Amino acid sequence: MTSPSTAFIQSLANQGVEVIFSLSGNQIMPLYDACIDANIRIIHTRHEGAAVYMAEAYAQMTGKIGVALVTAGPGLLNALSALYSAARSETPLLLISGDAASHLDGRGAFQELDQISVTSPITKFSVRPTRPHEMLPALATAMSTALGGTPGPAHLALPFDTLSAPHADAPLPAIPRPKASGLSPAQLDKLVTALSTASQPIVITGPQSNQSRQPAACEALSKQLGMPLICLESARGLADTFYGNFPDILTASDLIILMGKRGDYATGLLSPGRIASTTPVIAILTDDQPAPVHDSISINIMRVGTIPAAMHDLASLAPAVDPVWAAQIDNMITSRKPWAVTGDGRHPAAVATSLQTAMNNASQPILIADGGEFCQWIQAGCTPKTRMINGPSGAIGGGICYAIGASVACPDATIFLTMGDGTAGFYLAEFNTAVRNGCSIVALIGNDYRWNAEVQIQIDSFGADRVYGCELDATANYADAAAGLGVHAATVGADDDLDAALAMAMAQDGPACLNILIDSYAAPKFVPLKL
């Protein structure tokens, strides 16, 4: 007879799930066993947060739902910060957690926790089925909710007695995804009219519709308009170095179209003087996105089913913009490389230059950039076709996890990962996960022996003589640590040939790590970063 665990896992397989990122634990072992017969691959991690980060990257690179599986209590709690990142990056993700037996509720059972209260604020859907017949309908709702509208995470807490009950329903068959609905004819007509009367429009998208996740929609709309789209997916908002001086021309715009992006901190539209008070703003939002909070500007809201569908609809009829204006936008973006590399040490901008050359020589390069000052230099200096950054949550340290998830999703790609020496320490043990799974990752750790982003804040806010508590030192050798975990690793000093080191790293089977000693510089700031 089919057990609830078997029915649940087979239902996942029937929905096209081929891999689950997980850290094992007592309450979820029946699900592990069921994965054998369902032929679902388990990527076994060293931390629950890492499993969720990996699932997030996998989802972004494939367009499928990413699945993470963790145990109860502290296992679920360890996953929370990564779950928050998936929520802010608008990534379809299913987090499955084991839970204490429901018949012991309120009796202090092992790892008992009100999981739903914990996860509800940062998920689109969270439920705890306590009877076997409730489990599969909950799974169907969780997956459809995670994938629908603006994508995001869903959570299922599965009590051990529910998983191990003697009877179960038949596994769910494949559930067809509903047809994506975009702009209505009336909405499209209004947008075309607005674009036709505007001379200097700007189109801003959110993380769900960036170039890497929705290349076809972005290319179609950008090509039709004849100008770049601006995707704001960084916690730094307009201060994201990838877009250079672009924010300087916001005040010149006579129409702003937000596609799946609220008029929030990231857009800067709520900051006085960022745009003219008379500039029309149109926000195209999914039905499940909250309306923007605004006091000083008027925002015309259009509701649609999905943003990519709306982008394709607009691309079918949108008029081309003035090429002079389009060139101005492009020039402001490319102005993100105004610096001169000076000094005796290795400037982080020089690392970006060498990295771009390496990516140009790779057949399927993907850039993963973690947070921090070093990675802001990388974002300013590199122009990858496909990239993933730490995202709107502002969480740092998940870079190696993202790289593993991307490698599992795209096994023929070369994953280039950049981290600072601070962020490298968060999930360093996951380098061994990369080794065990044969991931093709070239990791670059920019090592300036400090938490440089925080040091720069201290210098700017309190003075150079008030730097405190944010220094690291050379006793931590990240190349040795990575090598101890099975990675091909080397330290690259100021006088060493970085290009040659990158070539050797790319030639290795499996992951490689370069501990690159760099001078400490504040990342280029085109727009003041105000939290």
Which pLDDT score, from 0 to 100, does residue 531 have? Answer: 42
Residue pair 286/304 in contact by the 8 Å Cβ criterion: yes
Which pLDDT score, from 0 to 100, does residue 334 have? Answer: 82
Predicted confidence band at 295 (pLDDT cuts at 50, 70, 90)?
A: low
Report the alpha-carbon distance of residue 455 to residue 472 in Å, rounded: 11
For 309, the enclosing helix (H) or strand (E) is: helix 307-317
Which pLDDT score, from 0 to 100, does residue 243 have? Answer: 84
Which pLDDT score, from 0 to 100, does residue 523 have? Answer: 86
Which pLDDT score, from 0 to 100, does residue 333 have? Answer: 84
Which pLDDT score, from 0 to 100, does residue 336 have? Answer: 72
Which pLDDT score, from 0 to 100, does residue 526 have? Answer: 67
Predicted confidence band at 474 (pLDDT cuts at 50, 70, 90)?
A: confident
Predicted confidence band at 16 (pLDDT cuts at 50, 70, 90)?
A: very high
Nearest 10 degrees: Cα torsion 492, 497, 503, 504: -50
Which pLDDT score, from 0 to 100, does residue 103 have? Answer: 83
| Lookup result for tokens 């997956």 | 143
| pLDDT tens-digit map of 173-227 | 998 887 889 999 999 999 999 999 999 999 999 999 999 999 999 999 999 999 9
Percent of the chain exceeding pLDDT 70 equals: 95
CATH homologous superfamily, domain 4-163 = Thiamin diphosphate (ThDP)-binding fold, Pyr/PP domains (3.40.50.970)
Residue ranges, CATH 3.40.50.970, the chain: 4-163, 348-517
Which pLDDT score, from 0 to 100, does residue 518 have? Answer: 96
Which pLDDT score, from 0 to 100, does residue 292 have? Answer: 78
| pLDDT tens-digit map of 379-434 | 999 999 999 999 988 899 999 999 999 999 999 999 999 999 999 999 999 999 99
- What is the average pLDDT across 111-134? 95
Q: How far apart are the first and last CA of the chain?
A: 56
Map residue 49 onto helix, strand or coil.
helix
Q: How far lies 460's CA from each of 60, 191, 454, 464, 466, in Å?
A: 35, 43, 10, 8, 10
Predicted confidence band at 277 (pLDDT cuts at 50, 70, 90)?
A: confident
Q: What number of other Cβ atoms are within 10 A of residue 221's Cβ?
A: 25
**pTM summary value:** 0.95
Residue ranges, CATH 3.40.50.1220, the chain: 185-334
The mean of the pLDDT values for the chain is 92
| pLDDT tens-digit map of 231-256 | 988 888 777 888 888 888 888 899 99
For the record, the structure tokens of 233 come out as 């997916």
Residue pair 114/128 in contact by the 8 Å Cβ criterion: no
Which pLDDT score, from 0 to 100, does residue 139 have? Answer: 97
- Residue 234's closest CA among 388, 425, 96? 388
For 185-334, CATH gives: 3.40.50.1220
| pLDDT tens-digit map of 70-122 | 999 999 999 999 999 999 999 999 999 999 888 877 888 888 899 999 999 99
- What is the average pLDDT across 279-299? 85
For the record, the structure tokens of 207 come out as 């993380």
Range in 38-52, 268-282, 300-314, 456-470 with the lowest mean pLDDT:
268-282
CATH homologous superfamily, domain 348-517 = Thiamin diphosphate (ThDP)-binding fold, Pyr/PP domains (3.40.50.970)
Which pLDDT score, from 0 to 100, does residue 2 have? Answer: 81
Which pLDDT score, from 0 to 100, does residue 268 have? Answer: 67
The residues, any chain, with a CB within 8 Å of residue 215's CB and separated by 6 or more, are none
Query: Is 141 a residue whose pLDDT tops 50?
Result: yes
How do 441-447 and 512-517 pair as beta strands?
Answer: parallel
Which pLDDT score, from 0 to 100, does residue 244 have? Answer: 82
